[in-house]
Structure 1
Amino acid sequence: MSTDMIDQKARAAAWFKSLRDDIVAAFEALEDSHDTGPFSDQTAGRFEISETKRTAEDGSDAGGGLMSVMRGGRVFEKVGVNISEVYGTLGARAQSAMAARKGIPGMQDDPRFWASGISLVAHMQNPHAPAVHMNTRMFWTPHAWWFGGGSDLNPCIEYDEDTAHFHRTQEQHLAPHGDTLYGELKEWADEYFYIPHRNRARGVGGIFMDDRNSGDWEADFALTQDIGRAFLPAYLPLVEKRRPMVFGAAEKDIQLVHRGLYAEYNLVYDRGTKFGLETGHDANAVLMSLPPMAKWI
C-alpha cells in the first residue's frame, strides 16, 4: 500500500470522526434548548457511547468503532451516530456480493479490504418532526477505492417547505462540484430509497452516491465532505420548527406506521445493513437504524 493511500485513509477516518463529534454536539444542544411544547418537561437526552468490535473469522481483531445512541430524549426518541474503521479479508459471501456489483478483478486472489464511515439515523419524539438518515464512507481494496453516502429525509407527516429546504441546502453544498451533480445524486437517491414491494419511496428523498471513484481521490473526498457538511444546515432548522407542535394519538399512529416502512427497507434492501452483517461487524451497531417502536396495519 502506498504512503499516499495510508495517509488518505487516515484523513478519511479522521473526517468521519470530526463530523460525528459536530453532529453529537448539535443534537445534544437541541435537547437542551427544547423548552416549549411536547416533552419539554423531560430530562434532556444525552448520547450513550460504547465501543464496537469486528472480529475476523480466525478470531483476530479486525477493527471497530464507536456507537453513540440517545434514547428517550426531549426531541429524539432514538438517534444513533456511529463511526467505524474496519479491515481484514472479505468472506466468500461478501466477496461475491462486491464482485457482482463492482466487477472487481482479482478479489478472489486478494480479498483484503478497509472501510471507514459515519452512519446516522434519527427517530423523533414528535410526529411532526421528520426522521432522517445520513451516511458517508470510504472503501478500499488492493484493487480500487470508492466513496459513497448521502442523506435522505423521512417525514411521517410531510411539509412541502421542509422538503424544499432540505433539498435546496444539499443543492447549494454540491454546487461547487458541478452543475449537474445534485440532479444526478437526487435521482440516485430516488431510485435507491425506494420500496418495491410497497411501490413507494420510503421518504421525500435527498442525495445518494455509491462506488464513487472519478480517479481523483482529493476531488471525491472533497465531495464526500460537502455531503456531510450539508447535513446539519439541511436538517436542524426543520427540527427546530416542528418540535414544539402539538400532536395527538392520530399523528402518533401515522408515525408508527411510517416507521414500519423504514424498518422494511433497512432489513430487506439496504446494502449497508447487508454488508455490515456479512462482514461480522457488531450487529447492534449495524441494526441501530431500526426505530424503537413501529406498527403495521
Structure 2
Amino acid sequence: MTEEFAEQKQRASAWFRQLRDDIVAAFEALEDSQTEGPFADQPAGRFEVTETKRESADGSDAGGGLMSVMRGGRVFEKVGVNVSTVYGELGERAQAAMAARKGIPGMKDDPRFWASGISLVAHMQNPHTPAVHMNTRMFWTPHAWWFGGGSDLNPCIEYDEDTAHFHAVQKEHCDRHDPSYYPRFKAWADEYFYIPHRKRTRGVGGIFLDDHNTGDWEADFAFIQDVGRAFLPAFVPITEKRRNTPWTEADKDTQLIHRGLYAEYNLVYDRGTKFGLETGHDANAVLMSLPPMAKWV
C-alpha cells in the first residue's frame, strides 16, 4: 500500500495547499474591499505566514506545514488558515485511540501514519457576521486510508436566511456525488458539534464526515475536493451581506459569550485538537482555532 499511495498522497497534499492559497487570497480581497464601518480607516488585514515543523520522538523530521494567521483586520478579528503534511509513527495513546475508533488491526506492529489537510477558523469583527470553521484531510496508514472534514457555521446572532444559504451550498456540492451524502453528513455534524455539558450545538451546523472510504480513492478524493470548494461560496456571500450591519455593545457581549462556547468545545471535545497535540504538532498551529477574546458569565 505504501508504493501504491505515493502519488495519491502527493496529489492530496498539493490540493490542500491550493485550497489554502485560494482562501487566503479571497479573505485578503474581503479586507481590501471593506470601506465602511469602524475599522475601514485602518490598514487592510494581511496574513502572517509561519512555517511549522513536527519532530518525531528521536528528533528526526516528521513533516510540517504553514500557519497563516490574520489578526485585527477590517473584517476578520482573527482568522487562521493552516495546512500541513505530517508523518511518522503514532505513539501508544494515538495507536490505541485509532484502533478503538477504526478497528484497524496491525497498528501496534506497524504504527506508521501520514496525514495531510487544511484547517480554518475565522472569528469576525462584526458580531452579525458569523464565525466559521472548515477542514478537510486525508489520513493513511499501511492498513487503511480515509478522508474527513467538513464545514460549520457559528453565528452568535442567527439569521435563518444565512443558515439556509450555507446549508444549500453544502447540499449542492454533496449532491454532485451522492444524494445521501448531505442528509447523512448534516446529521453527523449536528451530533459531532454538540456540547453535552451545555446541552446544545456550538452553531447552526453544516456537514461533517470522518473515516470516509468507499473503496474508490478517486471518487472519494473528488468528493473531499468539493467539500473544500463549497466553503467560499457558502461563507463569503454571508460575510459580504452582514459585515456592515451596525452593532451595539450588547451585540459584542453576545459574541464574546458565544466564543466562550466555541473555545469549550475545541478544548474538550474536538478530535483534531486532541490528535494534533498527541502527535506532537506545533501547539500554536493546533490551537489556532481559539478566539482572540472570549467571555464567560
Query: By how many angstroms is 1:2 displaced?
Result: 4.6
Deviation by residue 1:142-190 (Cα, 9 ceiling, x = unmatched): 0000100000000000000000000001101111111111000000000
Alignment of 1:110-189 (within 5 A): 110-189=110-189
Contact 1:52/1:66, CA 8 A, preserved across alignment: yes
Letter in 2 for 1:165: H
1:107 is matched with: 107
Once the two structures are superposed, what CA deviation does each residue of 1:69-126 show, in whole Å capped at 9, x if it has no partner? 0000000000000000000000011111111111110000000000000000000000
Cα separation, 1, equivalents of 2:37 and 2:55: 45
- Kindly indicate whether residue 65 of structure 2 is the aligned counterpart of residue 65 of structure 1: yes
State the distance in 1 between where 2:58 and 2:223 align: 37
Q: CA offset at residue 41 of structure 1?
A: 1.5
Q: Which amino acid aligns with 1:138?
A: M
Aligned residue number for residue 226 of structure 1: 226
Q: Is residue 199 from structure 1 mapped to residue 199 from structure 2 by the alignment?
A: yes
Aligned: 1:89 with 2:94: no
Displacement of 1:209 in angstroms is 0.2
Unpaired runs of 5+ residues, structure 2, are: none
- What's the counterpart of residue 272 of structure 2? 272
| Aligned partners of 1:38 and 1:126 also within 8 Å | no
Residue identity in the other structure for 2:279: T
CA apart distance, 1:4: 3.4
For 2:18, the equivalent position in structure 1 comes to: 18
Per-residue Cα deviation, 1:228-250 (whole angstroms, up to 9, x for no partner): 00000000000001111111110
| Identity across matched positions, percent | 78
Is there any run of 5+ residues in structure 1 with no aligned partner, and where?
none
1:3 deviates by: 3.8
CA distance in 2, matches of 1:31, 1:275: 32
In 2, are the aligned partners of 1:38 and 1:243 still within 8 Å (CA)?
no
Structure 1 stretches of 4+ with a deviation exceeding 4 A read: none
Q: What secondary structure sits across from 1:168 in the alignment?
A: helix
Distance 1:139 1:86 in 2: 10
Q: Residues 28-78 of structure 1: CA distance to partner in whole angstroms, max 9, x if unpaired?
A: 000000001231122100000000011111111100000000000000000
- C-alpha distance in 2 between matches for 1:96 and 1:2: 22
Provide the rounded CA distance (Å) in 2 between the counterparts of 1:39 and 1:158. 23
CA offset digits 1:177-227 (Å, max 9, x no partner): 111110000000000000000000000000010000110101110110000
Contact 2:2 2:142 in 1 (8 A): no
Specify the alignment match of 2:6 in structure 1: 6
Distance 1:176 1:62 in 2: 36
**Which position in structure 2 is the counterpart of 1:236?**
236
Question: Does the 8 Å contact 1:189/1:209 carry over to 2?
Answer: yes
**Aligned 8 A contact 1:67 1:81 in 2:** yes
The secondary structure found in structure 2 opposite 1:197 is coil
Give the alignment's Cα RMSD to 1 decimal: 0.7
Cα distance in 2 for partners of 1:101, 1:3 equals 26
CA shift at 1:264, angstroms?
0.2
